[in-house]
Structure 1
Amino acid sequence: MGLRSWFRRQQDEEERPVIPAPPTEQDILAALNRVNAMLVEGNAPPVVTSRVRRIARTINDTLPRLRNLGAGSADSYSVVATATDYLPEAVGGYLRLPRDWADTRPVDGYKTSLMVLIDQLELLAATMDKIFDAANRADAQALVAHGMFLQAKFGPPSGTDMTLGSPS
């Protein structure tokens, strides 16, 4: 190996971007805990706290099932991004404002900052609910398919009569 090729290899190694590892389940839970701490420290109104906790609960319920959505899927990304970026950004933006001003002054048409935040939280909650349903759908479909198999294997040929008959 010559000096020129050594310099070229060194230069190539320096130019490669460092890609951070994807967040782990613990990273996601830590991000949700930080949002909860923001709510407590910022004395967020109950209407905000209840919505954020609902979103966090849905994310918690979805995390063990992320693999059902497929690695690298848009839904998996949305769950991670909601916990680590979208939710903290929305809550933080609201909490940085003076409370009285944020809750009484219109900033978007007739909506106050509180109303804007509530709309954002409702959208995130609805999205997380849809993703949770999608994550569970594979197991639910497998259960239905298994029931159809059992019916075909052991059930009566003309329907699902579940009554107990007399022993033959």
Structure 2
Amino acid sequence: MGWWDDLTDRLRGREPDEPAAPAPPAPTSAEIVEAVHAVERDVAGRVPAAVTARVHRIARVVEEMAPRLDRLGVGSRQAHTVVATATSYLPEAVGTYLRLPRDFADRRVVAQGKTSLMLLCDQLDLLGATLGRISDAVSHEDADALVAHGQFLAEKFGTSALQLPPDGPAVAS
């Protein structure tokens, strides 16, 4: 470590050569899903049906994607987007809306000629569309892998094991 590192460590409140605190572990699939379920519980009976439907749509995609995040790779921007949507973007958007008085949120124009309700719906639509694209991309990768495996098997074994030869099954003599 050089003098610059010692100085920046001191500015951060650490003694030189003191190891940095380890990064918190990535959330598990169960924690990611629980985060969106918490938002679903928060909105239950407190928001218009348009918001509830969008939150449920996002939650379903997150539930589907959470166990598949490892396929996106460590440090993947797509995996980060799914996790951040479930644990940060969605709860923050909904929480901010819920803190507003209902009449103000649903009727008062606040920006771009839209009410807070309209702005929230736009944000939820954007999150839902983004998650949908990520889910489609992962599904296409899985489908492509299945096609490639089928091509491998066809090359390796010729005809499908489910197809009978034109003369019927071979009989041992």
Q: What band does the TM-score fall into relative to the shorter chain? A: 0.7 to 0.9
Structure 2: where are the runs of 5+ without partners? 1-13
Output aligned runs, 1:1-168, within 5 Å.
11-12=15-16, 16-40=20-44, 43-152=46-155, 153-155=157-159, 165-167=166-168
Report if the CA contact (8 A) 1:69-1:134 is conserved. Answer: no
The range that moved more, 106-115 or 11-20, is 11-20
**CA distance, structure 2, for counterparts of residue 63 and residue 29 of structure 1:** 7
Q: Select the structure with the greater relative contact order (CA < 8 A; seq sep ≥ 6).
A: 1
**CA distance, structure 2, for counterparts of residue 74 and residue 64 of structure 1:** 16
Deviation at 1:166, TM superposition (A): 4.1
Report if the CA contact (8 A) 1:58-1:129 is conserved. Answer: yes
Show structure 1 runs of 4+ deviating over 6 A. Answer: none
Q: TM-score, normalised by structure 2?
A: 0.78
Q: Which has the higher helix share?
A: 1
**CA distance, structure 1, for counterparts of residue 110 and residue 93 of structure 2:** 15
- Give the paired residue count: 153
Deviation at 1:100, TM superposition (A): 1.4
Q: TM-score, normalised by structure 1?
A: 0.80
Report if the CA contact (8 A) 1:68-1:138 is conserved. Answer: no
The range that moved more, 30-39 or 57-66, is 30-39
SS at 1:107 equivalent: strand
**CA distance, structure 1, for counterparts of residue 149 and residue 115 of structure 2:** 51
**CA distance, structure 2, for counterparts of residue 11 and residue 149 of structure 1:** 58
Percent identity over the alignment is 48
Deviation at 1:164, TM superposition (A): 7.5
What residue in structure 2 maps to residue 4 of structure 1?
none
